[in-house]
Amino acid sequence: MDTTILKAQLSSKIFPEPKHDGKTKLASVLVIIYGIEPKILMIEKSRHLNNHAGEIAFPGGKWTDDDIDLLDTALRETEEEIGLTISRDDVIAQLANVKTLNSGYTITPFVCIIDKIPQLKTDSEVESILHIPMIPLLQTLDDDRDPNHQSLQEMYTFTYNDKIVWGASARILKQLVNRLAI
């Protein structure tokens, strides 16, 4: 799939201002798509973390009062976690917020499309960086309901090699499936 087509199908307005009620924990992530044969960059979180240990996720993290907005959070956290600097100009879309069940965060996902990825380095929160062919990943969608999470209406999984993408990350990927009509 050509990046021009991807940009046309995924682009949307961006409203990165945090809507903070004092109770909701806010976070944001960056869905990074790159290359001629589009790949999605994801991370495997460190197994030593208190929350989301070992999960496959998008780079990103908690919003802080020092961040200008939620896009700033995603860009800052991406640089901290994997050493990748993304320009605000490369961000083409904002997807619908998703919530985490176990840690109680409302996550705002942003999408960027870039030509290539430079050499990356992980910090202590990241076990590994995954460069996943986008279309094959999105085609692994399994929307069977997980009986352990019946309270959640949208429980999906995706598979990459021997790794399962589930939870908030899978709900973000499902939004890509819907927009790209895969």
pLDDT over 90, % of the chain: 71
Residue 13 DSSP one-character state = -
Question: Residue 124: its pLDDT value, please?
Answer: 84
Could you tell me if 175 and 58 are in contact, meaning their C-beta atoms sit under 8 angstroms apart? no
Could you tell me if 31 and 71 are in contact, meaning their C-beta atoms sit under 8 angstroms apart? no
pLDDT tens per residue, the chain (182 residues)? 788 889 999 999 999 998 777 778 999 999 999 999 999 999 998 877 566 567 899 999 999 999 999 999 999 999 999 999 999 999 999 999 999 887 889 999 999 999 999 999 998 889 999 999 999 999 999 976 555 555 555 689 999 999 999 999 999 999 999 999 88
pLDDT over 70, % of the chain: 91
- CA angle at residue 181 from 177 to 182, to 5 degrees? 65
Q: What token pair was written down for 141?
A: 């969608």
59 class by beta-carbon count within 10 Å (0-12 exposed, 13-18 middle, 19+ buried): buried
Amino acid at 17: E
- CA angle at residue 76 from 55 to 160, to 5 degrees? 25
Question: Residue 50: its pLDDT value, please?
Answer: 60
Q: How far apart are CA 155 and CA 167, in angstroms?
A: 7
Half-sphere exposure of 102 (CA within 13 A, CB side): 10
Question: Residue 55: its pLDDT value, please?
Answer: 87
pTM: 0.91
**Nearest residue to 16 via CA among 108, 112, 150:** 108
Residue pLDDT, tens place only, 90-136: 999 999 999 988 788 999 999 999 999 999 999 888 999 999 999 99
Domain 3-135 class? alpha beta
To the nearest 10 degrees (0 to 180), the angle between helices 167-180 and 3-10 is: 100
Could you tell me if 78 and 59 are in contact, meaning their C-beta atoms sit under 8 angstroms apart? yes
Question: Residue 2: its pLDDT value, please?
Answer: 80
